[in-house]
Amino acid sequence: MTKPLRIAIAGLGTVGGGVVKALQARGDELAERAGRRLDIVAVSAKNRRKPRAFILPAAWSEDPVALASADADVVVELIGGEDGPARALVEAALASGKHVVTANKALLARHGARLAALAEERGLALKFEAAVAGGIPIVKALRESLVAHGIASVRGILNGTCNFILTNMERTGRSFADVLKEAQQLGYAEADPTLDVGGADTAHKLALLASLAFGTAPDLDHMPVEGIEHITPEDIGYAREFGFRIKLLGIAKRMGADIDQRVQPAMVRAGTPLGDVDGAFNAVAADAGEAGPFFFEGRGAGEGPTASAVIADLVDIARGSVGPAFGKPAGTLTPLRSAPPGAASSAWYLRFEVLDVPGVLAEIAGHLAESRVSIESMLQRGRNPGEPVSIVMITHDTPQAAVTHVLKAIATSDKVLGRPRLIPMEAG
């Protein structure tokens, strides 16, 4: 057998611990798959005295960046964060001629194109299967397997915390804040959940998927991002009445020469593959042109799934696969040309809270007709006398700019309370 692949691992938490355990438990089988042994030769984490569910497998270093000069072939970065020690380590490792495997979507979404160029200059691999959708092998699929006809769109449920919260709001009728608290108690949400529920984590992953799909440099700066904090039990209830479920989607679509990429809660029809993704699961739906539609579903986080993805990258490197990080040479990644704001077209869910007075529905309908926004279905729910009434409408396919324009006009009415709610409908 060829000489072992020598691996240095920085970060021994959820992902790093899972990688160590899997390499220790399945070393012989993995050696057969990889054509050589995968040997851990150095590790680094913050606190050496922390109890771990495995025996420290190799030389310990307090300083993760020191792993860049370890006697290793590959550095695995599993610390996290878009800058700080993670970035310093990845840059130093590539500069000193070591392949890099990372699960760090924040780092790659921000600095991916530059790091990919650094790796390529030296003929090194920069692999990141674990960075998007955990155990789902979507990075390799987009980078290598679905290239023949190009990708028209890629859409995904990419954050398990958000999907867990939305699924449980739907099951129990409880509020976002209530369910978030429960998710934190169960370990499905961080103490500071902002990155997840605000949509930034989904944005990091979408930036990588869009780059792999369209050959553009990862771009976070041209991506509208909306989280799930404002989703109410009312919206979830109405979605259900119309046969839909609310999902936080990362969406990247070709629109001519432009790319429409955004993170947004969307209504997806129940009973479709995307619409039926439950709990903490992730899923990605890709339209690969003449190759047809593809749908991937699996666990997007946690020790087992992420270790599976990291080890898949290590096996690839052991077998000599060191192709470009984003599937084409870094120098050919083009800047993302984003679709003009409001250009995306879809059907829309609109909800108005209105005073229960004569003429209000006619007023709303008048504005919609004037702007040529046509309505497919409508629901009006009365409450107790004197209380506000909900009017819910589903439009036909309409450009976003037209809907937002008309909603602004409607919101100025003294019969309409608060801001109308607007959620796009997406195919499942």
Ligand X SMILES: NC(=O)c1ccc[n+]([C@@H]2O[C@H](COP(=O)([O-])OP(=O)(O)OC[C@H]3O[C@@H](n4cnc5c(N)ncnc54)[C@H](OP(=O)(O)O)[C@@H]3O)[C@@H](O)[C@H]2O)c1
Catalytic residues: 205
Of residues 104 and 202, the one with the C-beta less far from ligand X: 104
For residues 378 and 335, the answer to whether their CB atoms sit within 8 Å is no
Measured between alpha carbons, how far is 333 from 113 in angstroms, rounded to an integer?
Answer: 8
Measured between alpha carbons, how far is 117 from 77 in angstroms, rounded to an integer?
Answer: 18
Residue among 100, 113, 212 nearest 156 (CA)? 212
DSSP reduced 3-state for 201: helix
Stretch near ligand X under the rule CB under 6 A, chosen from 74-82, 135-143, 229-237, 268-276? 74-82
For residues 420 and 352, the answer to whether their CB atoms sit within 8 Å is yes
Q: Which of 8, 22, 79, 203 binds ligand X (CB under 6 A)?
A: 79
**What's the min distance (Å) between Cβ of 176 and ligand X?**
22
Bridge pairing between strands 348-354 and 258-269: unpaired
Does 11 help bind ligand X (rule: CB under 6 A)? yes
Of residues 34 and 158, the one with the C-beta less far from ligand X: 158
- What part of residues 111-130 is at the interface with ligand X (CB under 6 A)? 130
- What part of residues 276-335 is at the interface with ligand X (CB under 6 A)? 301-302, 306
**What's the min distance (Å) between Cβ of 154 and ligand X?**
18
Of residues 201 and 235, the one with the C-beta less far from ligand X: 201
| 109 contact partners, CB below 8 Å, separation of at least 6 | 82, 203, 204, 205, 207, 208, 218, 220
Stretch near ligand X under the rule CB under 6 A, chosen from 11-19, 180-188, 189-197, 246-254? 11-19
x/- letters, 201..220, toward ligand X (CB under 6 A)? --------------------
Of residues 47 and 185, the one with the C-beta less far from ligand X: 47
Measured between alpha carbons, how far is 342 from 403 in angstroms, rounded to an integer?
Answer: 9
**What's the min distance (Å) between Cβ of 349 and ligand X?**
31
Other C-beta atoms closer than 10 Å to the C-beta of 123 total: 9
DSSP reduced 3-state for 317: helix
For residues 72 and 6, the answer to whether their CB atoms sit within 8 Å is yes
Measured between alpha carbons, how far is 132 from 135 in angstroms, rounded to an integer?
Answer: 8
- What part of residues 243-272 is at the interface with ligand X (CB under 6 A)? none
**What's the min distance (Å) between Cβ of 72 and ligand X?**
16
Q: Which of 4, 14, 137, 409 binds ligand X (CB under 6 A)?
A: 14
Stretch near ligand X under the rule CB under 6 A, chosen from 72-80, 256-264, 280-288, 417-425? 72-80
Instruction: Please identify which residue in the block is written with the tokens 């937002």.
Output: 404
Measured between alpha carbons, how far is 350 from 370 in angstroms, rounded to an integer?
Answer: 17
Give the Å distances, CA to CA, from 264 to 31, 206, 278, 362: 43, 11, 18, 30
**What's the min distance (Å) between Cβ of 358 and ligand X?**
54
Stretch near ligand X under the rule CB under 6 A, chosen from 35-43, 77-85, 110-118, 285-293? 77-85
**What's the min distance (Å) between Cβ of 9 and ligand X?**
9
Q: State the residue number with the nearest CB to ligand X.
A: 13
**What's the min distance (Å) between Cβ of 310 and ligand X?**
9
Q: Which of 30, 40, 45, 368 binds ligand X (CB under 6 A)?
A: 45
Does 134 help bind ligand X (rule: CB under 6 A)? yes
For residues 273 and 283, the answer to whether their CB atoms sit within 8 Å is yes
Does 85 help bind ligand X (rule: CB under 6 A)? yes
Measured between alpha carbons, how far is 368 from 405 in angstroms, rounded to an integer?
Answer: 10
Does 70 help bind ligand X (rule: CB under 6 A)? no
**What's the min distance (Å) between Cβ of 179 and ligand X?**
20
Of residues 44 and 308, the one with the C-beta less far from ligand X: 44
3-state secondary structure 62-109: CCHHHHHHCCCCEEEECCCCCCHHHHHHHHHHHHCCCEEEECCHHHHH
Query: Where along the sequence are the contacts to ligand X (CB under 6 A)?
Result: 11-16, 44-47, 50, 64, 78-80, 85, 103-105, 130-131, 134, 301-302, 306
